[in-house]
Amino acid sequence: MNGAVRDGGRRGDAPTGASARYEGGSGDIARGRELARGFLERLRATGGPAVSDRTAGMVQLVVSELLTNACKHAPGPSSLGLALADGAVEITVWDSAPVVSPVPVARTADPGRIGGHGLEIVTALCQSLDVRRAPGGKRTTARLRLVDDGPDPAAGR
């Protein structure tokens, strides 16, 4: 079932999670970003935590990077889970990477390297990143705070 989406539980009127299962195609990445965008919009619309446009963009970028890795390095299906937890969004991607594959780690920054920057980007944006073997593949979980205390890119215009 490609792109099957399920809303998670709700606290009051605000959603606390969303998930989808994908078959491993390149369109999964755009569908994952759309799932994240919709989840954050529902948070905003139902009086959940305030989510700035900047933070929403960072969540979508992390989803994109993690699903890109799943599509590129795993032979089949994947799933995406988004969960609201203690003022943060936990983004979990399960993929079907074979057990013999090494668990990925972020590389040291190298502006001359072409490609291989996905986990580097994720670790720069997120408060934590955890990659573990899971039944039938691996599970990658990134935690990104919803409170945006970074500089406003529009400041000084």
Helix (H) or strand (E) holding 149: none
**Domain-located, residue 153:** no
From 35-49, 68-82, 97-111, 136-150, the region with the lowest mean pLDDT: 97-111
Helix 53-73 × helix 118-125 angle, to 10°: 150
pLDDT in tens, 9-28: 544 455 789 999 999 887 99
Is residue 83 domain-resident? yes
pLDDT of residue 157: 37
Domain that holds residue 8: 4-145
Q: Rounded mean pLDDT of the chain?
A: 81
Residue 139's contacts (CB-CB under 8 Å, 6 or more residues apart) are: 92, 93, 94, 131, 132, 133
Identify the weakest region by mean pLDDT among 33-42, 63-72, 90-99, 146-155: 146-155
Q: What is the pLDDT of residues 133-142, one digit of tens each?
A: 888 889 999 9
Position 117 confidence tier, pLDDT thresholds 50, 70, 90: low
Q: Is residue 64 part of a domain?
A: yes
Please indicate, yes or no, if residue 157 is contained in any of the structural domains: no
| CATH number, position 64 | 3.30.565.10
pLDDT-derived band of residue 1, with 50, 70 and 90 as boundaries?
A: very low
| CA 68 to centroid of chain Cα atoms | 10
> Distance (Å, rounded) from C-alpha 51 to C-alpha 62?
15
Domains held by the chain: number: 1
**156 part of a folded domain:** no
The whole-number pLDDT of residue 150 equals: 59
